[in-house]
């Protein structure tokens, strides 16, 4: 599928991997609807190709309103909604039993699931309500759209304190195939991306000891990933029609160590 003159929804598109994805899509002459709690940088806010919709991904009514506003916007631009990139997420951490022998807070568990998993599920299903009605793209495959889920290396080998986070990212990885099989009859693809350690506001705050432990586990390239490499992967997924139902690991052949 081409990116030019198509609309994509990017949740969490105001920062990090989501922002890099938005910038790539804009450079590729696509239209982008950003769903986030905070606005994107000012240079994107004034771009005609970009629409920012303040959205709390844990509130289904806000997601539904944002999707409807996006679809109405596409009627003005003429760029049909063809894809969703689910970048909204949080990485809160807590051990199942902490140093004071207290159990994992239930409210933290519920919040991580609400953002990472239920938020992704709600945005995906509500966008699909419109995408399944799309006219097929020109060409032999007649594609109608693509959904991209954002998993993590924590779906495979999470560290201590990542119980809730890894549960959500493992669930997203597991969702890719059944969603792809559900949507095959509508000519809509589903893929997941599982990044390892990427430069972000979260990794910038890591203690030096934890950062060194992660860097020691790197293979090649011996550095954290950069957001543009995630965005390039999104671009490849959109453009390569034969990738479907899989999870792409962005790891540089590295695996998370058991301990920081």
Q: Could you tell me if residue 25 is inside a domain?
A: yes
Q: Could you tell me if residue 77 is inside a domain?
A: yes
pLDDT for 260 = 62
Q: Could you tell me if residue 70 is inside a domain?
A: yes
Structural domain total, the chain = 1
Q: Could you tell me if residue 132 is inside a domain?
A: yes
d(CA 154, CA 163): 9
Q: Could you tell me if residue 259 is inside a domain?
A: no
Is the Cβ–Cβ distance between 237 and 254 less than 8 Å?
no
Residue with more model confidence, 200 or 255 = 255
Is the Cβ–Cβ distance between 175 and 149 less than 8 Å?
yes
Q: Could you tell me if residue 75 is inside a domain?
A: yes
Each residue's pLDDT tens digit, 77-90: 999 999 999 999 99
Q: Catalytic amino acids?
A: 165
- State both tokens at 10: 């990017």
d(CA 179, CA 184): 8
- Structural domain span for residue 66: 7-250
Predicted confidence (pLDDT) at residue 104 exceeds the cutoff of 90: yes
Which among 148, 156, 206, 204 has a CA at the least distance from the CA of 179?
148
Residue range 242-251: mean pLDDT, rounded:
97
d(CA 241, CA 132): 17
Q: Could you tell me if residue 168 is inside a domain?
A: yes
Handedness of CA 32, 198, 122, 149 (dihedral sign): positive
CATH code where residue 239 lies: 3.40.50.720
Q: Could you tell me if residue 1 is inside a domain?
A: no
Q: Whole-structure pTM over 0.85, yes or no?
A: yes
DSSP secondary structure letter of residue 102: P
């Amino acid at each position: 599928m081409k990116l030019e003159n198509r609309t994509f929804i990017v949740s969490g598109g105001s920062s990090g991997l989501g922002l890099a994805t938005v910038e790539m899509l804009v450079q590729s002459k696509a239209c982008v609807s950003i769903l986030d709690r905070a606005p994107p940088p000012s240079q994107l806010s004034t771009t005609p190709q970009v629409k920012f919709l303040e959205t709390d991904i844990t509130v289904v009514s806000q997601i539904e309103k944002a999707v409807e506003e996006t679809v109405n916007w596409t009627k003005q631009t003429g760029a049909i909604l063809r894809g969703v990139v689910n970048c909204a997420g949080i990485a809160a951490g807590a051990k199942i039993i902490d140093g004071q022998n207290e159990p994992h807070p239930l409210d933290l568990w519920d919040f991580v699931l609400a953002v990472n998993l239920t938020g992704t599920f709600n945005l995906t299903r509500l966008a699909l309500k419109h995408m399944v009605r799309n006219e097929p793209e020109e060409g032999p495959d007649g594609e109608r759209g693509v959904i991209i889920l954002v998993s993590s290396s924590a779906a495979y080998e999470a560290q201590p304190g990542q119980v809730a986070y890894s549960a959500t990212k493992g669930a997203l990885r597991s969702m890719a195939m059944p969603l792809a099989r559900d949507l095959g009859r509508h000519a809509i693809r589903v893929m997941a991306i599982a990044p390892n350690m990427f430069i972000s506001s979260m990794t910038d705050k890591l203690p030096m000891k934890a950062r060194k432990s992660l860097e020691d586990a790197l293979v090649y390239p011996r550095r954290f990933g950069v957001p543009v490499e995630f965005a390039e992967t999104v671009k490849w997924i959109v453009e390569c029609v034969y990738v479907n139902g899989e999870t792409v690991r962005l790891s540089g052949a590295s695996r998370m160590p058991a301990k920081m």
